[in-house]
Structure 1
Amino acid sequence: MNLQFWSKSSLIPTVVSLIMALTGCSLTVPSASNLSPEEVTIRSAHSTWLDEIFQTEVVNIGLEQLGYQIAPVQRLEYPGIYLSLANGNLDYSVIYYSASHNSMFDRAGGDEKIQKLGVLVPIATRGYQIDKKTAEEYGITNLGQLQDESLARLFDWDGDGKANLAGCNPGWGCASIINHHLEVYGLQEKVEQEQGVYEALLNDEITRYQEGKPVLFYAYNPHWISAILRPDIDTIWLEVPFTSLPKNQGLSEAETSFNGKNTGFPGGAQEIVVNPEFAATNPVAKRWLELVEFSLEDMNEISLQIKEGENSPEKISLLAEEWVQENQEQFDRWIAEAKAAGE
């Protein structure tokens, strides 16, 4: 093809189309502060974590009610989402988990390139749990008590004399923290971390619990495990002897304590993150994203429903619609407050 016969005006659309095809991105005109919601198309993304699909669906239901157009939601890995937000290729995402995502957030440009908005899910507890029956029968309240071999053997289900602690997937941050704890609390000869697929490990613990056997596992909120083995009803959180984390994180006991118990892990909230230019030029959407929030209990229940089969995009979309209906009064208040931000 001889480009010398093409005019500039005919060449430009072709070049733009080629760029779009190569990048896989649609080109959008940055929103001006005087544009109405009807003139704005909002782009979002989530990871493969199914709970995030539900959360994004609920957020987008509200944005649609506010008049915004919603682009097809992208599914990306976490680093890619942060970079896309920083570069203006996405407008918002629900995927910021403090403090475990701090490094990805910082590598993408930090606060200069990405803005944190509302807390989508409040700060939650992470740590070690055992069944309440065993805790009360043997007076176990602290992980350090498993230095007592007779107590450790209560949780030994493979016959090697060590307590089996259902831990995390290899490579997860919690796996390295658990190994660090076993070392600094002098438990390496008494407790071993079972690693594998986290969901499968928990299913094994549920089976043992239902058979009346003692269970010992790592847990975090929100997660479906807390809707089955309910903290303070079926299980208890264990304390740790003292706060110690790998890589000299330097956290205090206060930063790893929840409801009067030092669980040994820092808590973390889930927050919405946005492109700063988008937030500055779309005050109605910004206010909406600041307001939306799910309780830990709601997310535990949603997580359980997804685990039990409500796990296709269509079914998760229905879960989102049902959640809105069940929380309609609060949802409508958020909508009214977001609309007021544009007046």
Structure 2
Amino acid sequence: MMMKKLLMGAVLSTLVCTGATTAFASPDKPGEGVTVKPARATWNTGFFQEALVRRGLEELGYDVKKPKDLQNPIFYKSVALGDVDYWTNGWFPMHDAQLPKNFYEDADTYGYVAKTGGLGGYLVSKEHVEKYNIKSLDDFKRDEVKKAFDNDGDGKADLTACPPGWGCETVISHHMDVYDLKDHITPGTASYEAGMASALANYKTGKPIFFYTWAPNWTIFKLQPGKDVMWINVPKIIPKDSQKNAVDRMTLSGVEGAVSDPIDLGFVVSDIQIVANKDFAEANPAARKFFEVFTLPLIDINRQNTRMNDGEKSQKAIEGHADEWITENQSTWNGWLEDARKAAM
């Protein structure tokens, strides 16, 4: 009898230490006895998604630790090594260049937090798109358009762009060169937050606005495409060297509030996905299934990002946003949990 108890204890200990779902967990809590080590990206537009996935795993019985904030390359090395188990902040193909060699031998992507949710491009106030028949960046070469969007009197249209060092700043600079726009557009490279605050103020007073943004972001919740602003085209797709392996993802169909369908965005559109260690996912079918079925409407992420931008940015506030989302989407949430529980049977 003593030998049986010792063997049972050894088996249970091994299961817990390897992160495997234990055979002793209840059907409603298939993750009981398993400790999970999540990571989180350093940009706060992904904090909401992290909070929701962590809450789901907790409801499945997992003991989920506080997420470790990591830069992208460090996370991808860490998850491949098994030092962390997952994060919700994979952007692909944008992050492909940051993956360590043979990454997919040890880790993988699961589901879609937001399919084609990671997109970027140029937007113009809808009223002025219609007034000046603006379809692409090329239209800013026209004198009447430049004059309308010239805020500082330098004879060129003012674009709210990205600060030096940001990836979007290098792409915008590329566009100014390859489309011969340097004499027609002045990209603002100061604080993006300050630039967008100014653009929003101008919009409220009826002035033309022209800005770069990305999703998920508060900008396209407060200035909604199709209602307040419109996505415009680049004149044609001319990729940077770093974009050439994803040219097919620089044009997108079905974009709400676009001046054309499809639209040539000029920026690579990414899928936002959960990335997890393969051993963890295989040992924990309930967690893996939750990763696979979890998905959010982009507008819900944008809405929550707007609340953070308006001051609700503490961890307590973000957890509250997650609670509210679950309550408002209880049927969907319960369905995800049920799918995860069935996967563990």
Judge same fold: TM > 0.5, yes or no.
yes
Structure 1 position 226 matched with structure 2 position 220: yes
Indicate the residue corresponding to 1:317 in structure 2: 319
Contact preservation (8 Å) 1:83, 1:108: no
Structure 2 CA distance, aligned partners of 1:143 and 1:302? 30
Q: Which amino acid aligns with 2:251?
A: T
Indicate the residue corresponding to 2:18 in structure 1: 30
Indicate the residue corresponding to 1:332 in structure 2: 334
Indicate the residue corresponding to 1:15 in structure 2: none
| 1:67-94 superposed Cα distances (whole Å, 9 cap, x missing partner) | 1111122122222221211111111101
1:145-224 to 2 correspondence within 5 Å? 145-224=139-218
Indicate the residue corresponding to 1:286 in structure 2: 288
| 1:19-53 superposed Cα distances (whole Å, 9 cap, x missing partner) | xxxxxxxxx82134655411101110112322322
Indicate the residue corresponding to 2:137 in structure 1: 143
Structure 2 CA distance, aligned partners of 1:126 and 1:256? 11
Change (3 A) 1:78 1:148: same
Q: CA deviation at 1:284?
A: 0.7
Indicate the residue corresponding to 1:10 in structure 2: none
Structure 1 position 258 matched with structure 2 position 253: yes
SS of the residue 1:60 aligns to: helix
Q: Which moved more, 1:48-57 or 1:92-101?
A: 48-57
Q: CA deviation at 1:65?
A: 1.1
Q: CA deviation at 1:304?
A: 0.4
SS of the residue 1:304 aligns to: helix
Structure 2 CA distance, aligned partners of 1:85 and 1:161? 51
Q: Which amino acid aligns with 1:39?
A: G
Segments of structure 1 that go 5 or more residues without pairing to the other structure are 1-27
Structure 2 CA distance, aligned partners of 1:342 and 1:185? 54
Structure 2 CA distance, aligned partners of 1:301 and 1:44? 24
| 1:192-213 superposed Cα distances (whole Å, 9 cap, x missing partner) | 2111222221111101111211
| % identical aligned pairs | 32
1:70-109 to 2 correspondence within 5 Å? 70-104=64-98, 106-107=99-100, 109=102
* Alignment equivalent of 1:114, drawn from 97, 107, 110: 107
TM-score, with length taken from structure 2: 0.87
Structure 1 CA distance, aligned partners of 2:243 and 2:121? 17
Structure 1 position 241 matched with structure 2 position 243: no
Structure 2 CA distance, aligned partners of 1:294 and 1:99? 19
Runs of 4 or more, structure 1, over 3 Å off, are 32-36, 251-255
Q: Which amino acid aligns with 1:257?
A: L
Contact preservation (8 Å) 2:249, 2:269: no
Segments of structure 2 that go 5 or more residues without pairing to the other structure are 1-15, 26-30, 255-260
Structure 1 CA distance, aligned partners of 2:272 and 2:312? 22
Q: Which moved more, 1:150-159 or 1:106-115?
A: 106-115
Q: Which amino acid aligns with 1:258?
A: S
Indicate the residue corresponding to 1:5 in structure 2: none
| 1:276-306 superposed Cα distances (whole Å, 9 cap, x missing partner) | 1101111111001111111111001000011
RMSD of aligned residue pairs (Cα, Å): 1.7
Change (3 A) 1:77 1:252: closer
Say how many residue pairs are matched. 315
Contact preservation (8 Å) 1:257, 1:264: no
Structure 1 CA distance, aligned partners of 2:101 and 2:333? 32
SS of the residue 2:32 aligns to: helix
SS of the residue 1:97 aligns to: strand
| 1:143-196 superposed Cα distances (whole Å, 9 cap, x missing partner) | 111122331221111111111111112111111111111111111111121112
Q: Which moved more, 1:248-257 or 1:192-201?
A: 248-257
Contact preservation (8 Å) 2:21, 2:34: no
Structure 1 CA distance, aligned partners of 2:248 and 2:100? 28
Indicate the residue corresponding to 2:127 in structure 1: 133
